[in-house]
Amino acid sequence: MRSEESARRMAGPLYGKEPWPIRFYTHTFSAACFNTLACSFLYNNYQFGTQKKDWTGQVFEQPSGPPPEDRRVLWSRENIITPKNGKTFPGPVELAWTSLDNTQFQVSVDLDFLFKDRLVLHNVSREQVKETWLKSLSREPVTPAVLVELDDRTVSVYMKALIATEEEQVPGDPYTQKRIDPVLAWKHTY
């Protein structure tokens, strides 16, 4: 059983708060780029993408192809982001890329602003949420996954989180008492 102090640290400012609407304090992060000549994401001092610097500072570029038909693959490379100094987000996501028409872009995506209310985006109504799971959230809150996706000139930000449900999503299968739907949070074409 988790100690009181450990639960308080994990939940951060959510400890002891009303669980609905569902809020988050920590998150995971993934980045994916498609249909670009080169792309680079910088978040939490970590670089993602097809354009990367090696230890000598030389830049290597590699074109990215079209998105996969099953985009669930994109969520498999998540990096946990632990809050520092009380901040959920360590800073914006810095994107630099070359679109298919050879136009270069540099954009900053402020996740702190996009998720300023720290609400977990999901498609489950309050009545469908498993009550016992909901009551546990002030001690063990949800950690949603945030995905920033770049496709040629369009930047999209998605969130997904496991939400426990009273009803089975596949009748007769008790392991499906949950929903994990990607939800579009923001999209912009440059």
pLDDT digits (tens, 9 = 90+) for 81-122: 877 777 889 999 999 998 989 899 999 999 999 999 999 999
Q: How far apart are CA 50 and CA 42, in angstroms?
A: 12
Q: How far apart are CA 114 and CA 88, in angstroms?
A: 12
Under a CB-based contact definition with an 8 Å cutoff, are residues 186 and 156 in contact?
yes
Confirm whether 97 is domain-assigned. no
More confident residue, 41 or 85: 41
Confirm whether 167 is domain-assigned. yes
By residue range, what is the domain housing residue 125? 4-36+64-90+111-189
For the entire predicted model, the pTM comes to 0.82
DSSP structure class, residue 75: G
Q: How far apart are CA 179 and CA 165, in angstroms?
A: 7
Confirm whether 58 is domain-assigned. no
Confirm whether 115 is domain-assigned. yes
* Mean per-residue pLDDT, 168-174: 91
pLDDT band of 57, cuts 50, 70, 90: very low
Helices (H), the chain: 4-11, 111-114, 131-135
Confirm whether 106 is domain-assigned. no
Q: How many domains does the chain have?
A: 1
The whole-angstrom distance between residue 136's C-alpha and the CA centroid of its chain comes to: 22
The answer for residues whose C-beta is within 8 angstroms of residue 85's C-beta and 6 or more apart is none
Confirm whether 152 is domain-assigned. yes
Q: Of 144, 156, 180, which Cα lies nearest the Cα of 34?
A: 156
Confirm whether 24 is domain-assigned. yes
| The Cα angle at residue 114 between residues 26 and 180, in degrees rounded to 5 | 55
Confirm whether 80 is domain-assigned. yes
Q: How far apart are CA 44 and CA 34, in angstroms?
A: 22
What is the pLDDT, as a whole number, of residue 79?
74
